[in-house]
Structure formats: C-alpha cells, structure tokens
Structure 1
Amino acid sequence: MGLTPVHFFSHGSTMMLGEESTSGDYWKKCGDEALANNIKGVIIMGAHWDATGDAIEVSMNPTPGKSPVAYVHPSKYVDYRLEPDLKNGERVLKTLESAGFNVRPNDKFEWIHDTFLILIRMFPNGCPPTTIISMNARFDPHFHMRVGSTIRPFRKEGYLVVGTGGAVHNLYRNVWWPMLMYRNNFAQPTPPEGWSLEFRQSVEDVMSNNRGPALRRAITRLMKHPQYRDAHATDDHFMAACFVAGAAGDWEDEKEEKGRLGAETWELTNMCNSQFTIGSWGRAVAAH
C-alpha cells in the first residue's frame, strides 16, 4: 500500500461537533479517502488525556463511554458507536514497550471529545477500529515526537495516523461572549490579534516547507517561537503536532508530499483551527 497520509487536525471548541464548517467538510473528505483506500484502522493521539510520571497509556477499554460535550446537543454524538481496536492496541503497546517507553494499558478510559469529535466528522457512518495513545504530562516535544516515530511503521500496514490538538489554542485569550450569549462560536466581532496571526502563519510555514527530519526539527522548534506561549497557554494541544511530526518525519518521508493546509476555521476570535495533511494516497484516489 505504501505510506498512508498523516493528519494534524485542530479540533477547536466542542461546538465544532455541533456546527457545520469548512474544517468539518475537510475531515469528512479525509475520512472518505481513508475508507476508499481500505484502511485497517486509526491510531490517534488527542490533547485531553495524559499520563503522569514518565508513562504513556494506550486505551484498552472494550466498551468505552463518551465524556459529555458542552454546548452540543446529545443527538450529535450519544448514539455514535465507538470501535476500540483492542487487537491493534496490544500491538501498539508491545511496539512502544520494545522501544523503551514506560507504557501501560488503560482498560477504564472513557473517550473524550478531542478524539471522538474528529472520528464522528470523518466517519459519520461508522467508527473504524481505533487505538488511542495518551500524551505524557511532562509535555516534552521530543518525547512525543519519538512516540510518533515509533508507531510510524503502522502506516505501511494501512493504519491512518492522526494527531488532534490545535494550531492556535489558548482558552484564556479567546473572546467568549458571542458563544456564551448567542451560541455563536464563529462570530468575529474583531479581527484576530497579531500574536495569533503570527503563530498561525508560522505553523503553516513549518508544515508546508519541511519534509522528513527537517519537519521534526521545525515543529519542535516552534515551542521556542516568541508567540508560542500566547498561542498555547498550556502545552497539551501542541503535543499532537509533535506526535505527527514523528510519524511523518523519517528520511523516507522526504519523498512524500509536504504538509498542506486543507481547511481552516477561526473560532472565538483568536482560536485558529488549521487542518493539515502530510503525504497523499496517490493520484487515482486523490482525483476520486
């Protein structure tokens, strides 16, 4: 099959599940392409689950529930059946353990909107077998890049690797009143602030101008950007980008297509939900 593409999706606020957007359309397009290429399953890292100490965890709950989604009607998600991939989860555990990670299964983990929001939008007619890998709460970019690098071989087997976090995601600097008063998360009463625009552009530049190991270096270097802390008050929503860089940043990936911005949705004035894909399925399916 060759290498499957890798996606870095900015999942945004919970209302990205309840409201239509160009990002939602793009997620659906990426899901349709994955199904057309007969993926075996999805391996995903989100932004709302982390393990303490030096550990990471893999979700092994055979019947996971869903955390409630604020400001979204339950009909949008409660009946969507999750499909945990326990067989591949065991393989992911062994692969990470062999690479020296302190990794453990979690058979009680309830799925959170950062992952099932994306899965519902990508695969509305049914969840593919999915393995969720946690972050580590120390939020070391190189650590998370190495996690992505370790699971990269699964791409050659037909698994789709997804990181779901945020390009610009600082809840403290969002403008909340249009959503709280009118349930309008897409209102832009004023333009985004300069720090948000600057960091958003830097993320696109890094994604679109680097391949292979250069992508890994450039993504982790973004955490030294002068506007990084404005764009990310906490590091959790950026770790998925490091995970993706690891999964798509091998020397072999220099032959693949550079990252491209497939869609973008601004929310709450300063939250930029950029959607990136690295690599491709090939001309035949892309044309389809």
Structure 2
Amino acid sequence: MARLTPVHFFSHGSTMMLGEESSSADYWRQCGDEALARGIKGVVIMGAHWDCHGDQIQVSTNPKPNKSPVAYVHPSKYVSYSLNPDLPTAQRCIELLARENFRVTPNPTIDWIHDVYLILIRMFPAACPPTTIISLNARYDPHYHLKVGATLRPLRRENYLLIGTGGAVHNLYRNRWAPMLRFRDNFAMEKAPEPWALEFRQSVEDVLLRTEGPWLRRAMTRLMKHPQYRGAHATDDHFMAAMFVAGAAGDWEDEGKERMLGAETWELTNMCNSQFTVGVDGVV
C-alpha cells in the first residue's frame, strides 16, 4: 500500500514571520523540501482567518486569487510570489465532504490570506505547489473540524500534503506589542513568557507527541477544556487547525507513526509558534 504523507500543524504567528528569519522558517523550508522529494501532488490546507457562518464550510475555487496585504512586511517578500490554486482537487474535496453530509460549497472569489501564503512561501520559495484551501466553520466546533480532517485523510494516501496553520498559543490581547511597534522586533523577550502561556504550550506538546490514533483526537478536543485554554486562545479560530490535523492523523492506522516538534519560535513574549509534524510514515 502507498505510504501516508505526514500532516503538519504549523503555528504561523504574526505577519512578521514572513519577513524575519527564525528556526520555524527553517523548519517550514525543511518540510517543503521533504514534500518535494516525496513528489507530492499538492497541498490541502486549513488556515485560521477564513470562516463561514451557519453550518456551512467552503472550498476555495478562485482561479486567480489575489493576496490579502500584510502589515510590517515589505511587499517584496510576497507580492511577486505566484499562487497556484488546484481547482480539480478543490472539486474532489467538495465531493468528499458532501459525501459525509457537510454543507459544503465552492467559493470562486475568496483571496488568499497570509496564514496560508506565508507558510507556502516559506515552504516552497521557488514555486507554489497546487494548493487547495478549506475554510473553517465559525461555530468553531472541535468535533466538526476533526471530522473535516478525517474526511480528507484519504488524500494522504494519494500523496497530498495536509496542513493546518493556526497557533499553539495565540492570544493577541495578551501579547506584548511595544517592541514590534517601536522597533519592529517581534522576537524581543523583555521578560519570560507568562505562566499561563507556558502551561498551555506544554499541554499542546504533550497531546501531539504522547498520544496517537483516535486517542489523539480525543485529547486534542479536551484541550479546549484546559484551565488555561481561554487565556491561550481568546478566540477559537487559531486552534481549529489543530483539530483538522488531529482528524487527518488520528486514525487507528496512524498508531506507531513518528511525530515531532520540529521547531518553536516565541513572539511578542506570549505567542508560542510551535511547529509539529505527526503521522510520519517512513522516510523519503
């Protein structure tokens, strides 16, 4: 049987992660190089900045999307990067989701947002691979987003790379913005991260590295009941990508697969950008 591709949960952090070098950027590039060596057919990605109201979910089918502009990053870092929407795979994803009774529709007008193209530029700087973007649902039901990942999981066997891009600890209200606003220094650490951020960050690592198979799915949803969850995530949008990943890499077949914390970058004192890879099936 064909080997399963790995699944990545990437914390994309602030927009400055596109312009500044970091260990996370190095790891994203490493994962991109490995994906190209594997000969992936394309990328299927769920971000944190596009969601749909009611009970619907959407798949991007814009044949010529623009990029939403980003703050604190020089346009030369992203404006000339050519996007590569994968319309046939988008239709395939719509069919798979509809088969599982999701209220799914195409969106032919959505532009790509930095949480998606930041990761693609860092992973694949030479050229964007064929890419399909899946929206969130604005009810932020963890089980709903687990099921989205589980529904699209078979694409891993067809050599598609599944990515969730959100945040391990991502509460913009509790970050320390002054060094970035005054000096454009997003990595300044005038003091250590606060205990609530450290505690939740450790819990995310424990779940992703110490549980597997269906237990991963259960443990990931329980994190939203963690005493420090609301401190670490003032809103739920950046944690739904983790649910998507758990659904995509939380089958019985995923037991025994390698998983790793590939890199970690703290920004704005209290934002933890952890980069996880799970479900690694053999070597390239």
Do both proteins adopt the same fold according to a TM-score greater than 0.5, normalized to the shorter chain? yes
Name 1:275's counterpart in structure 2.
Answer: 275
Within-5 A mapping of 1:202-241? 202-241=203-242
How far off is 1:2 after superposition? 1.1
Pairs aligned (count): 283
- The answer to whether residue 113 in structure 2 is matched with residue 112 in structure 1 is yes
> TM-score, normalized by length of structure 1?
0.97
Structure 1 counterpart of 2:260, one-letter code? R
How far off is 1:256 after superposition? 1.6
Contact 2:43 2:160 in 1 (8 A): yes
Q: What SS is found at the alignment partner of 1:20?
A: coil
Q: What SS is found at the alignment partner of 1:175?
A: coil
How far off is 1:280 after superposition? 2.1
Q: Deviations over 1:26-57 (max 9, x none)?
A: 00000000000000000000000001100000
Q: What SS is found at the alignment partner of 1:152?
A: helix
Within-5 A mapping of 1:88-167? 88-167=89-168
Structure 2 counterpart of 1:217, one-letter code? R
**Runs of 4+ that moved beyond 3 A:** none
Distance 1:39 1:184 in 2: 36
Name 1:67's counterpart in structure 2.
Answer: 68
Contact 2:53 2:137 in 1 (8 A): yes
Structure 2, unpaired ranges of 5+? none
Distance 2:279 2:46 in 1: 18
Distance 1:89 1:48 in 2: 18
Identity among equivalent positions (%) equals 71
Within-5 A mapping of 1:41-80? 41-80=42-81
Name 1:83's counterpart in structure 2.
Answer: 84
Distance 2:257 2:206 in 1: 17
Distance 1:31 1:219 in 2: 25
Name 1:188's counterpart in structure 2.
Answer: 189
Q: Deviations over 1:181-233 (max 9, x none)?
A: 00000000010000000000000000110111000000010000000000000
Contact 2:153 2:247 in 1 (8 A): yes
How far off is 1:279 after superposition? 2.3
Name 2:12's counterpart in structure 1.
Answer: 11
> TM-score, normalized by length of structure 2?
0.99
Q: What SS is found at the alignment partner of 2:18?
A: helix
Structure 1, unpaired ranges of 5+? none
Name 2:33's counterpart in structure 1.
Answer: 32
RMSD of Structure 2 on Structure 1 (CA): 0.6
Q: What SS is found at the alignment partner of 2:14?
A: coil
